[in-house]
Structure 1
Amino acid sequence: MQACPGECECSKKGIDYYGVLSVRKNAHDLEIKKAFRKLAIHYNPERQKDESVQFVFSLIAEAYDVLSDPLKRAIYDQYGEEGLKRGVPGPEELYIEPYVFHGEPLRTYRDFFGTSSPYADLIDVLAKPLPLYELPEGRGIKRKEEPLIKPLLLTLNEVFFGGEKKIKIQRSVLCGDGEGSTTVLREKILTIPIKPGLPSGTEILFPEEGDQGPTKIPADIIFVTEDRPHETFVRDGTNLVMIANVFLREALTGFHVVVNTIDDRILRIPITSVVSPDYEKIVIDEGMPLVDNPKERGDLVIRFKIEFPTYLPNTSKNYIKKAFRVSSTGEKGDAEYIHRLILEDKIRRNIDSDIPMRREPGE
């Protein structure tokens, strides 16, 4: 190819194709391909709906079309864009025709990726995965797997008393040495310690108990505790909460709540106060053990659901009105009057208990 005499000024004019692809002038073919891949995907018009992107995308395709062809690149290196598109004299007095870009950047894109999809990088990775030597595993670097998180459902009895829980798992185990190693599926029993009062949401870690493999570090297995539903109690921190259903009559006049505890005791708890919708009865030290000191316990909190009668006859309503009139005889807020009523009520109950029951004839 005939060269221009002296320094060719035309090489300094026109588009800098190397600058468009952000590569050096002595870049080899693989570097040019990598640069085009990155820019073509980023500026694909399907990804960025902008008119300026269309121009940049076309310029990138033109730069790659020139620099990927050895003859066009040689002419461009010597004569620049102007000489390339004007045409130059070739060897043996032949004339090299001017270069004209075909004007279809998506055609260049499609020829390179084999598709016009804007997500060609993902398709290319699936169709042509990286060689093993380019991956960390191929360089002898083992990668640790993500931890396996499993729920561990515990009954309130298990949490109350503590102990151990055994879980059977299946995992792949590496057998053999070196290149001849294989993986086989085996079962293993994991023993999980349960402390009395263990809070819900506690994470229990078993390091590297996941699947083994020649190119990976086994994953950790993490069990996260959850409370199974109980027929009576719900745990609230260290406290136990239960709901007691009571009739309106009981809510006003008093009653006993019978509680079957987790440790198989029966509690008869007297309720002497008037039970309002937001009333709670707290029984000290009848909750869950404290995980740091199992000898101490939380409380039992009893909440109430009041059931109202669906019907009351007039006579019953009159008795209720009379009872409320008697209870409101004293001035509102008169503590002395209320204390006197309570004292009279206790005296009357004591007198009633001292009166012998009437015996029927023949008894």
Structure 2
Amino acid sequence: MATDFYDVLGVPRGASDDEIGRAYRKLARQYHPDVNRDPGAEDRFKEVSEAYEVLSDPAQRKRYDQFGADFRRVPEDYDERAPRGRTVYTSGPGHGGFEDFDFEDLFGGVFRRGGRGGPIPGADQEAELTLSVEEAYRGGHRRLTIGNRELDVTIPAGVVDGQRIRLSGQGGHGSAGGASGDLFLVVRIAPHRRYRLEGRDVVVDLPVAPWEAALGATVPIMTPGGEAKVRVVAGSSSGRRLRLRGEGMPNPRGKPGDLYAVMKIMVPKSLGKRERELFEELAAVSDFNPRGS
């Protein structure tokens, strides 16, 4: 029994493009082989990718809705060339295939014309590529499974969410000698426990000790490109943003983004005897009131 692509994604047949996209992203993150080592996860990921490849393409989805599992056997331009006024596909209990169907009617006219209308190019297709912040920062290579295809993809350094990577000739197949379409990979940056992206700028929390904030210090900080140093100005408070120019996401066509370290003053969970004495002495001699005007 053929797999129903709508069931694979867990969406109704009338689902919008946004609903299909959200369902795919959720399942792709859940079953991606890089994060899910369970047996069968890779096969499930391939199944989800194939379903999304078809349902996210308006032309393929239309043919799938009309012909079901047999949609790939029907020419992409069938709607324009098929004889009018005939029911060639039925679905439901006891059905699910071509009935009262003359293949000469459907295919013969195409071939008899000998390509009179000229080569028909394949349709462009689109799929999503989920990357971590570090992968997007440094770029590299990724082997992807899209539908029943294995593709080697070069990821440029500094890609951002929503950017499209074009794979020439990897889209839908053409007919009558027509060239294949292109495949566009839409980049999605996965949420990160440390980094937040604002365009090409990277925002990261910077924990500092009370004395570092009060006296000033130079402290290490992790960036997507590795460890860097940031200078904490004396008298800084939590929430202050410290900028490291050019340490954000690379930009192959222009100025790179910046990295913003947002200060968070941290205090020890427990104090040793001497530490407590020093804090008590500071409290006794200081007239600083953080709630004052």
TM-score by length of 1: 0.39
Structure with higher Rg: it is 1
* Larger RCO (CA under 8 A, 6+ residues apart): 2
